[in-house]
Amino acid sequence: MRRRRETVITKIKDVAEVAGVSAATVSRVLNNVSTVDPAMAVRVREAVDKLGYRSNGVARSLRRRRTDVWALIISDISNPFFTSVARGVEDVAQRAGFSVVLCNSDEDPDKEAKYFDVVERERVAGVILSPNLVGSDISLLISAGIPVVAVDRPLRHPVDCVRGDSVEGARIATRHLFEEGWTRPACVTGPETAETAEQRLTGYRQAFVDRGLRPAKSLVRHADFRAGMARESVAALLDSRNPPDSFLIANSTMALGALEEFAHRGLLPGRDIGLVAFDDAPWARFVNPPMSTVRQRAYEIGALAGQLLLERIQGASGELELEPKSELLATELVVRASSRRASTSTA
C-alpha cells in the first residue's frame, strides 16, 4: 500500500511559458502551421519534450468542433467476414489520419441503438455500419449530420452501401454444383428479413432457371444465421421425401451446423454429398474434406466503405450533396473437395 501518485497534467500554456512564446504559437507548431519561425518551432519542441507535454484531444475536439474518429459498428465481431472488413476500414482511416473505434452490436438492436447514441454524442466524424437483421434506424446520426456508410446489408435511409454480390455468388456456386454432377442442390439461407439472405436465395434460383429448371420450393429452408438452426434445416431436408444431394449454405457459421449433421450421418462431403458455403472462413480449408466456399472480398468491402466515408466527410465542406452510391463487389468461388462429385468414381 502506497499513496497514489499524483499525475501532473501539462497544458499548452505551460509549454508556452517554458519556450518563452505564446500559447498560440505552441498550437501552431504542434499543428504544423506554415507561418512559424523555424527557430521558435525548435524551442517549442524542446519545451514539449522537456515537459512531456501531450495534447488534450478532448479540448481539441471541442474547439475544432469535430473529431478524427470513425465508429465502425459491427453486427457480429466473431464473424471472420467482419474482422476482415474492419481491417480494410482501418487501413483507409489510418492513411487519412482518422482512428477507428470498433463497436460490437452483437445483432442486438438495443446495443446498436446505444452505440448510435454515444457516437453521436461524442461527435464522431463518421460511421460505418453493418446493420442488424431487423433493420436499423440511423435517423439520429443523419439528423446530426454524421455521414454513414452501410456494409454487407443496405439501409432504408439513402446512404452509401458496399456489399458483396450475393446474387451472382450464389448463382455461380449453384451452377458449379450442377456442373459437378449434383442434381438436387438445396439452399439453406438466412431469415427472410435479411436482404443478404434473400439475395443468396435469388442467385440460387437463377442457377436453376439458367438450366431451364424450376427451382423446387421443397429444397429451400430459411434459418437464422447460426449453426444450430442450420443443422436442423439440413436434417429436415435430408429426411424429406425427395432429399437433396448437395447444399448451398448461406454463411460459414451455418456451414458448421451442416458439417456436424453430415458427420453425424456418416456423410462425407465431396463423396456422399455436395457442399458449398458462403464466406471463406479461415477454417474452411482445414476441415475434412476442405470446404468449397464463396469468398467475399471482405477487406476490399471495408476499404471501399472507408473511401466512401472519406468522400462524404471531406465533401461535407462543399456545396453539393452526392447521391448515395451502392457498390457491389464481385464474389469468387473457391472450389475445394467438398463440392466435388467426380471423386466418387475415382475412389
Query: Cα–Cα distances in Å, from 228 out to 129, 140, 224, 244, 253?
Result: 26, 35, 9, 19, 9
Query: Cα–Cα distances in Å, from 203 out to 14, 18, 187, 196, 222?
Result: 65, 68, 10, 11, 15
Residue 293 per-residue DSSP state: E
Kindly tell me which of 41 and 146 has the beta carbon lying closer to a copy of itself.
146
Rounded to an integer, what distance in angstroms lies between the CA atom of residue 175 and that of residue 206? 9
In the complex, what is the shortest distance from the CB of residue 99 to a copy of itself, in angstroms, rounded to a whole number? 5
Q: Which does 240 bind (CB under 5 to 8 A by kind): a copy of itself, DNA, none?
A: none
CB neighbours (10 Å) of residue 227?
A: 20
Q: Which residue has the cell 462425407?
A: 268
Q: Does 145 bind a copy of itself (CB under 8 A)?
A: yes
Site string (225-244) toward a copy of itself, x via CB under 8 A:
--x-----------------
Contact set for a copy of itself, span 255-284 (CB under 8 A)? 256-257, 259-260, 263, 281-283
Pairing mode, if any, of strands 160-164 and 126-129?
unpaired
Kindly tell me which of 23 and 96 has the beta carbon lying closer to DNA.
23
Determine the straight-line distance between the first and last CA of the chain, rounded to whole angstroms.
Answer: 72
DSSP string, 184-205: -EEEEE--TT-HHHHHHHHHHH
In the complex, what is the shortest distance from the CB of residue 59 to a copy of itself, in angstroms, rounded to a whole number? 5
CB neighbours (10 Å) of residue 34?
A: 5
Give me the half-sphere count of Cα atoms (radius 13 Å) on the Cβ side of residue 59. 6
Of the candidates 33, 42, 62, 213, which one interacts with a copy of itself according to CB under 8 A? 62
Q: Which residue has the cell 434460383?
A: 205
Of the candidates 17, 30, 316, 334, which one interacts with DNA according to CB under 7 A? 30
Q: Which does 28 bind (CB under 5 to 8 A by kind): a copy of itself, DNA, none?
A: DNA
Find, among 69, 196, 188, the residue nearest to 130 by Cα: 196
Q: Does 56 bind DNA (CB under 7 A)?
A: yes
Query: Do residues 329 and 163 touch, judged by C-beta distance below 8 A?
Result: yes
Of the candidates 33, 42, 57, 344, which one interacts with a copy of itself according to CB under 8 A? 57
Contact set for a copy of itself, span 177-216 (CB under 8 A)? none
Query: Do residues 254 and 197 touch, judged by C-beta distance below 8 A?
Result: no
Contact set for a copy of itself, span 107-136 (CB under 8 A)? 114-115, 118, 120-123
Q: Does 118 bind DNA (CB under 7 A)?
A: no
Rounded to an integer, what distance in angstroms lies between the CA atom of residue 308 and that of residue 327? 10
In the complex, what is the shortest distance from the CB of residue 142 to DNA, in angstroms, rounded to a whole number? 19
Of the candidates 2, 6, 23, 94, which one interacts with DNA according to CB under 7 A? 23
70 φ, ψ to 5°? -105, 145
Q: Does 87 bind a copy of itself (CB under 8 A)?
A: yes
In the complex, what is the shortest distance from the CB of residue 165 to DNA, in angstroms, rounded to a whole number? 42
Q: Does 28 bind DNA (CB under 7 A)?
A: yes
Rounded to an integer, what distance in angstroms lies between the CA atom of residue 201 and that of residue 250? 8
Q: Does 32 bind a copy of itself (CB under 8 A)?
A: no
Of the candidates 4, 5, 65, 241, which one interacts with DNA according to CB under 7 A? 65
Q: Omega into 38 within 30° of 0, i.e. cis?
A: no
User: Using CB under 8 A as the criterion, which residues of the chain lie in contact with a copy of itself when the complex forms?
Assistant: 1-5, 7, 52, 54-59, 61-62, 67, 69, 77-78, 80, 83, 86-87, 90, 94, 99, 101-104, 106, 114-115, 118, 120-123, 143-145, 227, 253, 256-257, 259-260, 263, 281-283, 285-289, 316, 318-323
User: Using CB under 7 A as the criterion, which residues of the chain lie in contact with DNA when the complex forms?
Assistant: 9, 11-13, 20-25, 27-28, 30-31, 35-37, 39-40, 53, 55-56, 59-60, 62-65
